[in-house]
Amino acid sequence: MQTFTIPFIILVCLAALSAAYDSECPSEGFAQLPHPNCSLFIVCVHGRGSEIQCPTSLYYSAELGYCDYEQNVPDCVGGTRAPIGDTTTQRLTEQPTTQRSTQRPTTSRPNPTTTPRPNVLTQCGDSITALSGSIEYKLNANYDANELCVFIIRSQRDSKLTLQLEADGISGVDSNAITILSYHDDVNGISVFARLSRQNPTVTIPNGVAIVVFRTNGNTGTGFKIDFLATEDSVWLPGMNKVYNTNEISPLQLPIRSNNTEKEYDITVITSEAKQITEESSSLQLVLKTDNPFDFCNDRLIIWKLDGNDVVGYVPCGEGDQIYETRGMYIITTILNEETAPARGTLSWGRI
């Protein structure tokens, strides 16, 4: 069981978004850094550091690059280690490093087809797999208060994906309405990457998947147009994007998987009818049930919540049935393999 559990433990953690470690992180690529508190370690993604907590009673081994039993982490004395002075960093890829190097020079050549294809997303929940296109949501039409409208763009695996706010009538109270989340397939992780606004109209995500979230407070503004363009890389990131905006489809059978026979990276978003929940006493509840929770480890299933400004991940690997609540949205990420049995079960949700 031990050899089975340990490789996944790196992912098993709560990621707290924090700028505190950015200065310690290398500006490019992926790295893991030890933390003076052995229960914690730092994951760096292109210069951004997040604090991750090891599962209870395990300590991070800088030598091995994952959380392990105390007796296997000799440099940790009484739960602490010498401060991060040494610069040993470890790549967070699970694949052998020869398979795919994030260090290799990336072609920054833009997509040679200069006329963008007519890939226009217009409805909340639209998603696309493409190298270029745009999102035009309520452009020149009033939006509602408390919208929580999600679009997903998937391009090629190591594409650099640039999003540019071309036009908007977003009002002052909603100046932070557009949040760009990025997905990192190396860590199966979601992070808040940037907010797009007139002051900050362009953002480039270093890896090819963006989740664009439009959240409003008031209803006095009009929508926007965002153009996106990805550099051509090597392969498409296999997998499926899906946004559930209503309560009608629940329950969803697990595994959530497309037809791919290869390893696939699936992203499922659930909102309460594309709205934020504003009543203190109400929430969007998500119930995860399975007969074999260890299959979630194989699937590397993570439930992320975007509540307010932060995204936090929960890993049900090895845990029994789970209940989550949010007034925002869920993002469920999985990495499915052909080799291992996927978790069977259900995901159901509803407003309570």
| CB 232 within 8 Å of CB 155 | no
Q: CB of residue 83 vs ligand NAG: minimum separation in angstroms?
A: 13
Q: What is the identity of the amino acid at 213?
A: V
Kindly state the smallest distance separating residue 78's Cβ from ligand NAG, in Å: 8
Q: How far apart are CA 191 and CA 183, in angstroms?
A: 7
For ligand NAG, which is the closer residue by CB, 321 or 338? 338
CA distances from 118 to 97, 183, 233, 273 (A): 37, 24, 21, 27
> Coil, strand or helix: which one is 159?
coil
Q: What is the Cα–Cα distance from 243 to 241, expressed in whole angstroms?
A: 7
Q: Does residue 251 have a cis peptide bond before it, meaning omega lies within 30 degrees of 0?
A: yes
**39, 283, 298, 333: which one binds ligand NAG (CB under 6 A):** 39
Residue 2: its H or E element = helix 2-9
Q: Quick one: the chain helix, strand, coil %, rounded to 5?
A: 5, 45, 50
Min CB(54)–ligand NAG separation in Å: 9
- CB neighbourhood size of 19 (10 A): 9
CB nearer to ligand NAG: give 113 or 258. 258
Q: Which stretch binds ligand NAG (CB under 6 A): 2-10, 33-41, 66-74, 319-327?
A: 33-41
40 belongs to the binding site for ligand NAG (CB under 6 A): yes
Sole window of 34-42, 183-191, 203-211, 337-345 interacting with ligand NAG (rule: CB under 6 A): 34-42
Q: Which residue has the tokens 């590397």?
A: 300
Binding mask 190-219 for ligand NAG (x = CB under 6 A): ------------------------------
Q: Render 258-282 in DSSP notation, one character per residue.
A: -S-SS-EEEEEEE-BTTB----TT-
Pairing state between β 241-244 and 189-196: unpaired
Output the six-digit token pair for 173.
């109270």
Least distance in Å: CB of 42 to ligand NAG? 13
Q: Which of residues 223-262 bind ligand NAG (CB under 6 A)?
A: 258-259
> What tokens appear for 238 in the block?
């296999």
Residue number, 95 or 258, with CB nearest to ligand NAG = 258
Residue 36 or 251 having the CB closest to ligand NAG: 36
CA separation for the pair 120, 133 (Å, rounded) = 6
Cβ 118 to ligand NAG, closest distance in Å? Answer: 22
The CA distances from residue 216 to 13, 135, 275, in Å, are 30, 17, 9
Task: Point out which span in 32-40, 199-207, 241-249, 343-351 binds ligand NAG (CB under 6 A).
Answer: 32-40
Residue 38 or 149 having the CB closest to ligand NAG:
38
How many chain residues interact with ligand NAG (CB under 6 A)? 8
Q: Give one DSSP letter per residue of 220-244, joined into a string.
A: SSEEEEEEEEE---SSB--S-EEEE
* Nearest-approach distance from CB 269 to ligand NAG, in angstroms: 17
Taking CB under 6 A as the rule, does residue 37 contact ligand NAG?
yes
Q: Which of residues 43-62 bind ligand NAG (CB under 6 A)?
A: 53
**Residues between 61 and 120 with contacts to ligand NAG, criterion CB under 6 A:** 79-80
The answer to the question of residue 18 lying near ligand NAG (CB under 6 A) is no
Q: Which of residues 258-297 bind ligand NAG (CB under 6 A)?
A: 258-259
Choices 36-44, 146-154, 210-218, 245-253 (CB under 6 A): range interacting with ligand NAG: 36-44
Contact range with ligand NAG by CB under 6 A, out of 2-10, 37-45, 56-64, 266-274: 37-45
Phi, psi at residue 21, to the nearest 5°?
A: -105, 0
Q: Are 217 and 293 in contact (CB under 8 A)?
A: no
* Shortest Å distance, C-beta 312 to ligand NAG: 14
Binding site for ligand NAG (CB under 6 A): 37, 39-40, 53, 79-80, 258-259
